[in-house]
């Protein structure tokens, strides 16, 4: 998995809180003299942990819990292609400039299999059978949300570098899949809270 460090150069996380304020943090690959610097990643586990930060997350604001929206973007170079484009010791700096690159946007959201219209137990006039059915559907929906996550990866290319930053051309591809398992997290040195999907761990929703 550490081979990922040869292809992922930068990961940008933008957090938008309920007030609309945007907080941005840039994480870059750090090796050699840069290793250990603030917000640098040095191995594949850290890259996966950053890219697995969920799109929606709760954080504490005083005594209340508020929702924030995370935008996770990585700048990646292609894994496949000509061997001349691959990192190899002294050629690494050169291949970074000539290898095909793209912008990768990672979105991880809990799977929501049912409409709230079918699980709303507060609707007036429900019969006892309807109420029981809706409570059971709600229980199943909460369990699926706790144990399945939708992963959506959006790739935009080609990349253009300008004084204003990095922009992309008009090509795009979206890949989406459903991943079973619980989303777990841990604090990791200078990188903050990182996330992973544990495929062998399932939880019972409350």
Q: Supply the pLDDT for residue 117.
A: 62
Q: Supply the pLDDT for residue 192.
A: 87
Strand 40-41 with 22-29, pairing: parallel
Query: pLDDT tens for residues 36-93?
Result: 456 888 899 999 999 999 999 888 777 888 889 999 999 998 877 676 666 665 445 5
Two structure tokens written together for 193: 């809270």
Residue 157 lies in a domain: yes
> Three-state SS for 200?
coil
Location of structure tokens 């570098």: 161
> Is the previous residue joined to 79 through a cis bond, with omega within 30 degrees of 0?
no
Residue 118 lies in a domain: no
Which residues constitute the domain of residue 175? Answer: 2-113+149-198
Residue 85 lies in a domain: yes
Long-range CB contacts for residues 20-27, cutoff 8 Å, separation at least 24? 25/192, 27/191
Residue 204 lies in a domain: no
Residue 174 lies in a domain: yes
Percent residues over pLDDT 90 in the chain: 33
CB 67 within 8 A of CB 56: yes
Smallest CA-to-CA distance from 169 within 156, 153, 150 is with: 156
Q: Supply the pLDDT for residue 88.
A: 60
Residue 91 lies in a domain: yes
Phi and psi, residue 2, nearest 5°: -70, -15
Residue 25 lies in a domain: yes
Spatial distance between the Cα atoms of 79 and 99, rounded to a whole number of angstroms: 10
Residue 83 lies in a domain: yes
Number of domains composing the chain: 1
């Amino acid at each position: 998995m550490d081979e990922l460090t040869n292809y992922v150069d930068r990961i940008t996380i933008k957090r938008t809180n309920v007030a609309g304020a945007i907080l941005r943090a840039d994480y870059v690959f750090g090796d050699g003299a840069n290793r250990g610097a603030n917000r640098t990643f040095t191995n594949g586990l850290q890259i996966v942990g950053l890219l697995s930060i969920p799109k929606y997350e709760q954080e504490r604001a005083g005594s209340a819990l508020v929702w924030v929206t995370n935008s996770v973007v990585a700048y990646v170079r292609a894994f496949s292609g000509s061997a001349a484009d691959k990192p190899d010791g002294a050629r690494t700096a050169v291949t970074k400039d000539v290898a095909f690159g793209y912008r990768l946007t990672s979105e991880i959201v809990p799977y929501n299999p049912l409409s709230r219209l079918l699980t709303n137990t507060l609707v007036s006039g429900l019969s006892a059978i309807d109420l029981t059915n809706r409570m059971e559907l709600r229980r199943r929906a909460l369990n699926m949300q706790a144990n399945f996550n939708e992963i959506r990866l959006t790739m935009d290319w080609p990349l253009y570098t300008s004084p204003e930053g990095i922009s992309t051309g008009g090509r795009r591809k979206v890949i989406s899949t459903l991943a079973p398992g619980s989303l777990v997290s841990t604090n990791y040195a200078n990188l903050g809270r990182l996330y992973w999907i544990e495929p062998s761990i399932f939880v019972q929703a409350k």
